[in-house]
Structure 1
């Protein structure tokens, strides 16, 4: 369940947010949305794949954390085992809303396990005077960055389809214990198609700022070996 509310310094003066990473707080997820503007940072840790929405037919990009639903191989007893999280994961339990005049607003999911009203567990969002805490200021910045990146992403995905640069992807994951996992239902960049693009098409992609995230998505595929190593270590009790 979700219960979204516009964040208010009076109504939510004592609201606190638990910022640590744990399964109980909603981090036991296989993947999350990642924007093209984040690919450079994300590819240092996560494989980036693409998925088509069956209802809208539109593509989104995902950073993979595991190979099956509910599995996050970056989640450990000590917290999140990577230097950064994709913004869509990092901003939880907040989301961006729009006021009557079109201005951006910070909303919060009051039913999130990260939210606490009062007590000492978590970080306050407002000080005693009702001013935003450093945490809230960072959240506001991250939400703005995420919203801007989301608005810009449509042109990137349209360019991928226009040039036929996505291909279905299936990965067989053999593990040290003899078991196998199959990863299906995703797409990756068609590297052969990218290599053989005509010069004018490459120039168009470069002019539109799409080449860098394209190459970062290709580079991220190398992270599958790291993810498999994490899976083996987890299976071995490491």
Structure 2
């Protein structure tokens, strides 16, 4: 899930990306924040499979459309609507925060397309790193500080979780278990239901038809538990819909792509 530091193809949230080094950033610090304005206008956040058990309690977990789907947590059902963070990025209700959000503004990325080596990079435009008076130093005596070492470790763990997630998705595709999803929700004051499409979900009919040896293997390696976490989480779609209504944030379309 690492992305090359190229401005034309930056991952979600990132406006810029540069490699972190002790020469150029000797006096840089990273400061903490209780606001995430970069998250406020985003309704779908990438997830790793290791997060499914926690995330399923808070969000519907679905998969993006297309040939290379990835798991996402839905914090809202309409584009630009986040029901858990206000417009300034302050958390409205206590909720699980995906690792993808927590790693920002750092990221492991390839500096050389010919090499598989990953380097710790940062978004310098995030407002969270720079030559500040406050915050934790990123380098001490020309060496990565304890804070930077912890940041690197977290990002390495995220990359490992990303590989596990890719293996999970490969298994779903191998057995043709993904189908186009559709959710229809009717408001009490509306005759016409609001229909949400543009995502994928596990086809339960095909899941029931899988060979016994495949299901046994998935039960042993934990993959079946991940599938059920996804399926159980879909019930929360109506909760997110209700949150949007309660917050006056929609729905805004009769038919919408999640």
If the TM-score is normalised by the length of the shorter chain, which range does it land in? 0.7 to 0.9
Choose the corresponding residue for 2:200, options 181, 187, 205: 187
Question: Mind listing any 5+ residue stretches in structure 2 that lack a counterpart?
Answer: 1-6, 8-14, 250-258
Contact 1:16 1:117 in 2 (8 A): yes
Q: Is the 8 A contact 2:185 2:238 kept in 1?
A: no
Note the alpha carbon deviations across 1:47-106, whole angstroms, 9 max, x for none.
Answer: 1001233xxx22211111111111111103642634421111221111102467754421
Match of 1:8 in 2: 21
The equivalent of 2:58 in structure 1 is 45
Q: Could you say if the C-alpha distance between residues 156 and 116 of structure 1 is closer, same or farther in structure 2, counting changes exceeding 3 Å?
A: closer
1:70 aligned partner: 80
- Native 8 Å contact 1:46 1:64 kept in 2: yes
Match of 2:109 among 97, 103, 106: 97
> Is it true that 1:30 corresponds to 2:57 in the alignment?
no
State yes or no: 1:59 paired with 2:73. Answer: no
- Between structures 1 and 2, the one with greater strand share: 1
The answer to whether the 8 Å contact 2:31/2:128 transfers is yes
Note the C-alpha offset of 1:43. 0.8
- Return the offset for 1:136: 3.6
* Residues 17-166 of structure 1 aligned to structure 2 (within 5 Å): 17-23=31-37, 25-53=38-66, 57-76=67-86, 78-79=90-91, 81-98=93-110, 102-112=116-126, 114-120=127-133, 123-126=135-138, 129=141, 135-166=147-178
Q: How far did residue 204 of structure 1 move?
A: 3.0
Matching residue of 1:204: 217
Question: Could you tell me which residue of structure 2 aligns to residue 172 of structure 1?
Answer: 184
Q: After superposition, what is the alpha-carbon deviation per residue over 1:137-187, rounded to whole angstroms, capped at 9, x for unaligned?
A: 443232112101111222211211222322211123334664864321111
User: Mean alpha-carbon deviation: is it higher for 40-49 or for 6-15?
Assistant: 6-15
- Give per-residue Cα distances to partners, 1:5-43, cap 9 Å, x unaligned: 1112342222434533343x4432011111122211211
TM-score when normalising by structure 2 = 0.76
Q: 1:223 aligns with which of 233, 236, 243?
A: 236
Can you list the C-alpha shifts for 1:93-125, whole angstroms capped at 9, x where unaligned?
A: 11102467754421101123x33423457x334
The Cα RMSD (Å) is 2.9
For normalisation by structure 1, the TM-score amounts to 0.81
CA contact (8 A) 1:45 1:82 kept: no
Which range is displaced more, 136-145 or 154-163?
Answer: 136-145
